[in-house]
Amino acid sequence: MSADASALALGRTFHQALVSADWDGIRALLHDDATWTLPGDNTISGTAEGADAVVERARRIASYGLNFELLHILASRENMALSLHNTARREDAVLDEYLATVCRLRDGKIASIETYLSDVPGMNAFFV
């Protein structure tokens, strides 16, 4: 399997694990020293350091009832990114954001994740 095909397959597996709340599945895709950085100033912002913290971040995000609509999986020579449209609603807040979750890969696993958002103020208002 080519490197880009492997990256695309990893992206599909990551997204499927996220939408199905398969936390062990996400953990299996990560290096022990993986990180996940999110912008903003809210309960999910900053950098989660270590695979267990990355899984906890995914669990926390999912706990808000998000719909993780996959638009595209993008591959570079060595890495991959998920293009997503995330939506959710609470009685007092609505989330409607587009994002790119860029995954840097090492030896077939995720070494780091950085998320780029279309609406950081909306994210700050939703994740309280």
For 118, the 3-state DSSP assignment is: coil
Instruction: Please tell me the predicted confidence (pLDDT) of residue 5.
Output: 86
Calculate mean pLDDT across residues 35-64.
Answer: 98
3-state percent breakdown (helix, strand, coil) of the chain, nearest 5: 35, 45, 25
- CA torsion through residues 58, 14, 125, 120, sign: positive
pLDDT averaged over every residue in the chain: 96
Instruction: Please tell me the predicted confidence (pLDDT) of residue 51.
Output: 98
Question: What's the pLDDT band for 2 if we cut at 50, 70, 90?
Answer: confident
Token duo for residue 67: 């719909």
Please report, for residues 15, 18, 59, 60, 64, the alpha-carbon distance to residue 128 in angstroms, rounded to integers and kept in the order given.
Answer: 24, 21, 15, 11, 10
Q: Return the higher-pLDDT residue of 72 and 3.
A: 72
pLDDT digits (tens, 9 = 90+) for 63-104: 999 999 999 999 998 999 999 999 999 999 999 999 999 999
Entry pTM: 0.94
| pLDDT higher than 70, residue 1 | no
Q: Which of 74, 76, 88, 92 is nearest to 119 (CA)?
A: 88
Calculate mean pLDDT across residues 50-75.
Answer: 97
Amino acid occupying residue 51:
A
